[in-house]
Amino acid sequence: MTGYQEIYTDPSYTGQIIVTTTSHIGNYGVHNDEVESKAPTIAGIVVNSFSEVYSRLDGHGSLQNYLVEYKITGIADIDTRKLVRHIRSVGAMNAIISSEYEGNLDGLKAELAKIPDMNGLELSSQVCTKETFYFGDENAPKKVACLDFGIKLNILRNLASRGVYCKVFPAKTSLAEMAAWNPDGYFLSNGPGDPAAMPYAVETTKEILATNKPVFGICLGHQILAEACGISTYKMHHGHRGLNHPIKNLLTGKSEITSQNHGFVVNREDVEKSDVVEITHVHLNDNTVAGIRLKNKPAFSVQYHPESSPGPHDSRYLFDDFVTLMHNNS
């Protein structure tokens, strides 16, 4: 029922139709402070019960008007739990929502055929910032260069609240431009698309690792870090989506409930054969890689979203770990 605005404005969902299994969507409207980017870039929504009216003391408008403003298509009165079970069984697939081809199935199929597959699709350059910008206190003790592949605002909030001044760079920024700012560390953000279709990001990350400065990656950034270390990635059958995914921290032995949103994953066999990278976290449902770190450099990453928004806060210690790495590396 809650958290839909944060999901709809997460750039990682660019070009995707969001299916929510919770019964009610739209009840509390939208709020200007509950966004993860400037505007939603999703392709559409599928819900069970949609509320065109909302009840909230400090709400800024209805979800209905919000979707209309950003020209996002939606469909309601769908058995979304049945739909999700179908996707889980047969795998993630392209889809179309339309009111223009009633009774013309061939026309719908023709439109659907125009939609590219996510495999090999590079989307980060479409959703990342076009100009560098700053976030946080310029007098903060540490500076971090954030490579924006589709960064969520709550990541920047979590860094800033820990004494970090962030400078956010477009996805295709060179190391030379970032290094000129003399950051204490580098952050590789989340984002949409296939990491294997981003050789520019992989090459830049290799150069970043050569500086021996601390590196932290989340989601797509995690996959890019792995690719930079010679670890392959692949598209999952149906991905991990939701706010209740269990993972285990192999370094502490503790389990955490995490927020996840990814359709690609790091190849576990490659990591286990690597002399450079080791697994730090695993997904408890399917034993896929949920976190890695480099054995000889101050660099680590996770497949999930420790900043949550929405979701549990079990893994926010990772931001503290990153800050500690920077202090120890001074």
Find, among 40, 42, 30, 38, the residue nearest to 9 by Cα.
40
Ligand-binding site membership of 64 (annotated): no
Burial letters 29-48, b for 16+ CB under 10 A, else e: bbeeebbbbeebbbbbbbbb
In the residue annotation, 278 being an active-site residue is answered as: no
Cα gap 244→258, rounded to integer Å: 6
In sequence order, what DSSP letters do the residues of 106-156 get, joined into one string?
HHHHHHHTTSPPSTT-B-HHHHS-SS-EEES-TTSSEEEEEE-SS--HHHH
Cα gap 3→25, rounded to integer Å: 9
Cα→Cα distances 156→168, 170, 190, 208, 212, Å: 9, 15, 12, 20, 22
Ligand-binding site membership of 57 (annotated): no
Q: 251 near 105, Cβ under 8 Å?
A: no
Q: 258 near 305, Cβ under 8 Å?
A: yes
Cα gap 35→268, rounded to integer Å: 33
Find, among 305, 315, 255, the residue nearest to 283 by Cα.
255
Ligand-binding site membership of 193 (annotated): yes
Cα gap 18→23, rounded to integer Å: 14
In the residue annotation, 6 being an active-site residue is answered as: no
Ligand-binding site membership of 261 (annotated): yes
Find, among 291, 277, 294, 299, the residue nearest to 248 by Cα.
291
Ligand-binding site membership of 23 (annotated): no
Cα→Cα distances 55→26, 34, 78, Å: 9, 16, 23
Ligand-binding site membership of 216 (annotated): no
In the residue annotation, 146 being an active-site residue is answered as: no
- Supply angle C-alpha 178, 319, 259, rounded to 5: 110
Ligand-binding site membership of 29 (annotated): no
Cα gap 214→325, rounded to integer Å: 6
Identified catalytic residue from 128, 146, 219, 229: 219
Ligand-binding site membership of 121 (annotated): no
Query: Which positions are annotated as active-site residues?
Result: 219, 305, 307
Report the binding-site residues for L-glutamine: 12, 191, 193, 220, 223, 261, 263-264
Report the binding-site residues: 12, 191, 193, 220, 223, 261, 263-264
